[in-house]
Amino acid sequence: MKVIARKDACAGHARCHAVAPEVFDLDDVGYISFYEKEVPAGLEAQARRGVRACPERILRIEGETLD
């Protein structure tokens, strides 16, 4: 599973990191720090929660759509 981020559109709310810190890395000022990231095995549910937590909707799981 891979998380895709529109890094340039991140508003720095850090809600993704709040619910899934093992998946969502932030830079020094609190913005998402990657464009694409492989989700470690066993953290798929956390990744999905983090994607859903983003108020800006800049995150998605590759090959999936939000319901």
* CATH fold for the domain made of 2-61: Alpha-Beta Plaits (3.30.70)
Residue 40 has pLDDT above 70, yes or no: yes
- Determine the pLDDT at residue 34: 97
Identify the helix (H) or strand (E) that includes residue 51: helix 44-53
3-state class of 66 per DSSP?
Answer: coil
Question: What separation in angstroms does the CA of 31 have from each of 6, 59, 63?
Answer: 11, 12, 24
Domains in the chain: boundaries: 2-61
The 10s digit of each residue's pLDDT in 10-37 is 999 999 999 999 999 999 999 999 999 9
What pLDDT score does 60 carry?
96
**DSSP codes, 9-42:** G--S--HHHHH-TTT--B-TTSSB--SEEEPPTT
Q: Provide mean pLDDT across the span 1-16.
A: 97
**Half-sphere exposure of 34 toward its Cβ, with a 13 Å CA cutoff?**
14
